[in-house]
Structure formats: C-alpha cells, structure tokens
C-alpha cells in the first residue's frame, strides 16, 4: 500500500468524463501523491509548524501556489497525511483473528508493526509528533475511529484469555505495549542510531530487533 493513494479516508472526486479529463486526473493523482510524500518527509523532520510550504513544494518539484491548488491549506495537507498514516497503521490490528492461536496472531502483528516502522519511519514520526503534541488535529479521529477499532480487538484478546490460551494481561496495555516497542525504532531512530551505531546492516538489525522483542513479549504473555 502506498502512502498518499488511500482512497478510503482521503476524499477524492471520482474522475469521470472525456479522455482529456482522465489524463489530467492522472496528472492530478501523481501530483497529489508527490505532494503527500514530500509533505510526510518534511513534516517528519520539522513538525507541523516547523515545516514550510516552500520546503514541501520544492521537494515535490512544484510551485507553492500549485501545491495549494491541490490542498487548499497547510492544515488540510497535514490532515491528509495523518489520515493516510493512521489507516496503514491500523490495518494490521484489524486482522487479529480470534479463531487463530494468539501466539500466531500476536507474533504476526508484531512482525507487521516492525515492518511498518522499517518501511515508513517518516510517516511514523509524523504521527508520533502529532500525538506527543497533544493531537491538536487528530484528537477527534482518535476518540472515535481508533477507539472503536481497538475496543473490538481488545475483546478478541479477552476471549483468548478466557479460553486459557494466553496469560491474563490487560488487553489495552498489551496492545499499547506492542505499539510502543515496535514504533520506538522508527520514532526514536536517531537515538537508536546513537546507541547502536549507524553502520549496521538494516536487514540484520531488524531481524535482531524482531527476535529480541518477540522473545520478551511472547514469553511474557504465555500462560504459565
């Protein structure tokens, strides 16, 4: 799934009409994508206020007024970026299946979260910044959409516990713990680099990371 091309949360007018419009629509789609990608990068580096439309426009190889043709304000652009992120970010959680064994499901979930950190570290940091700043923009979405998704999955975990398939831990805390641990490698990347050195083989690093996280968490939720 590509950032900036998520149709479910980002309202897009369905292009319908003569061929010329279709072509233009392709340009539009490409430009939107380029903008969102550039914005993600710049927002992740400088935060909402720190980022400037100039920087984003330059990264997207586009004039500032043209950028504002696609997203009519800085805030709107920021919101679009956040929505995209949230969707990809929640996708794996939605897939937790109570019919499967918790070991398998939770292990797979951790894998996917780490993969997200590896693939979209900048997106992850935009999200982290927004939340750490008190979610001025995203609060409503957190209070409704996020809350509902998590509530549903907490129920799944509770079922596993009731069935005696895993230890009796608070589902919410477990979920948050997994989030915290897996995102840490994206959000605090500089710090991680400072500690471990930057010259590590990325593939190897993420394997190590995965192994260590799983060793502790999976053992921690085993029924004893």
Which lies closer to its own copies via its Cβ, residue 1 or residue 172? 172
Which lies closer to DNA via its Cβ, residue 17 or residue 197? 17
State how far the Cα of 89 lies from the Cα of 124, in Å rounded to an integer.
8
What are the b/e assignments for 134-166, b being 16+ CB within 10 Å?
A: eeeebeebeeebeeeebeebbebbeebbeeebb
Binding its own copies (rule: CB under 8 A), the pick from 23, 66, 220, 223 is 220
Name the one residue in this structure whose structure tokens are 């369905």.
14
Is 10 a binding residue for DNA by CB under 7 A? The answer is no
Backbone φ/ψ region at 134: left (φ over 0), alpha (ψ -120 to 50), beta? left
Partner from DNA, its own copies, none contacting 220, C-beta within 5 to 8 A by type = its own copies
- 119 to 138: interface string for its own copies, x by CB under 8 A: ------x--xx-xxxxx---
What Rg do the C-alpha atoms of the chain give, in angstroms?
20
Q: Are 102 and 161 in contact (CB under 8 A)?
A: no
Which residues, numbered 7-36, are part of the site for its own copies (CB under 8 A)? none
Which lies closer to its own copies via its Cβ, residue 10 or residue 137? 137
Number of neighbours of residue 185 by Cβ within 10 angstroms: 21
Q: Are 159 and 146 in contact (CB under 8 A)?
A: no
Is 70 a binding residue for its own copies by CB under 8 A? The answer is no
Of residues 56, 178, 189, 176, the one with CA closest to residue 121: 189
Of residues 111, 118, 90, the one with CA closest to residue 189: 118
Binding its own copies (rule: CB under 8 A), the pick from 170, 200, 207, 223 is 170
Which lies closer to its own copies via its Cβ, residue 5 or residue 145? 145
Is 217 a binding residue for its own copies by CB under 8 A? The answer is yes
Which residues, numbered 45-74, are part of the site for DNA (CB under 7 A)? 51-54, 62-66, 68-70, 72-74
List residues near its own copies by CB under 8 A: 44-50, 125, 128-129, 131-135, 139, 142-143, 146-147, 150, 167, 169-170, 172-174, 176-177, 179-181, 183-184, 187-188, 190-192, 194-196, 208-209, 212-213, 215-217, 219-222, 224
List residues near DNA by CB under 7 A: 20, 24-25, 27-28, 31, 51-54, 62-66, 68-70, 72-75
């Amino acid at each position: 799934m590509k950032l900036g091309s998520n149709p479910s949360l980002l309202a897009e007018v369905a292009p319908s009409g003569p061929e010329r419009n279709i072509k233009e629509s392709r340009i539009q789609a490409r430009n939107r994508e380029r903008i969102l990608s550039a914005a993600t990068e710049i927002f992740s580096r400088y935060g909402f206020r720190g980022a400037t439309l100039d920087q984003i426009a330059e990264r997207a190889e586009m004039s500032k007024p043209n950028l504002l043709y696609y997203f009519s304000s800085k805030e709107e652009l920021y919101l679009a970026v956040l929505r995209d992120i949230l969707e990809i970010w929640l996708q794996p959680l939605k897939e937790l299946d109570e019919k499967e064994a918790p070991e398998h499901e939770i292990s797979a979930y951790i894998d996917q979260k780490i993969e997200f950190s590896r693939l979209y570290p900048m997106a992850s940091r935009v999200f982290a910044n927004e939340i750490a700043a008190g979610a001025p923009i995203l609060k409503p979405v957190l209070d409704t959409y996020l809350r509902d998704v998590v509530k549903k999955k907490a129920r799944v975990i509770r079922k596993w516990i009731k069935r005696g398939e895993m230890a009796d831990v608070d589902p919410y805390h477990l979920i948050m713990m997994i989030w915290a641990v897996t995102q840490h490698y994206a959000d605090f990347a500089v710090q991680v680099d400072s500690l471990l050195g930057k010259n590590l083989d990325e593939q190897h690093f993420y394997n190590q990371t995965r192994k260590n996280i799983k060793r502790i968490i999976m053992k921690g939720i085993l029924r004893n």
